[in-house]
Amino acid sequence: MTVTGPVQGRHLRAMPILRDAGITAKIIRMEPYKDPDEFIKNLGAEAFEERIASCEKCIYVQSGILEKDYDMNSPEGKTEFMKETARRLLHSLKKKWNVIIT
Report the C-alpha gap between 28 and 24 in whole angstroms. Answer: 13
Per-residue pLDDT band at 29 (split at 50, 70, 90): confident
- DSSP characters for 15-51? HHHHHHTT---EEEE-TT-SSHHHHHHHH-HHHHHHH
Helix, strand, or coil here: 6?
coil
**Residue 11, amino acid:** H
Per-residue pLDDT band at 50 (split at 50, 70, 90): very high
Whether pLDDT at 47 is above 90: yes
Report the C-alpha gap between 72 and 84 in whole angstroms. Answer: 13
Cβ-count burial 26-53 (b if 16+ within 10 Å, e if not): ebbebeebeebeebbeeeeeeebeebee
Whole-model pTM over 0.85: no
Whether pLDDT at 3 is above 70: no
Whether pLDDT at 24 is above 80: no
- What pLDDT does residue 98 have? 67
Whether pLDDT at 4 is above 70: no
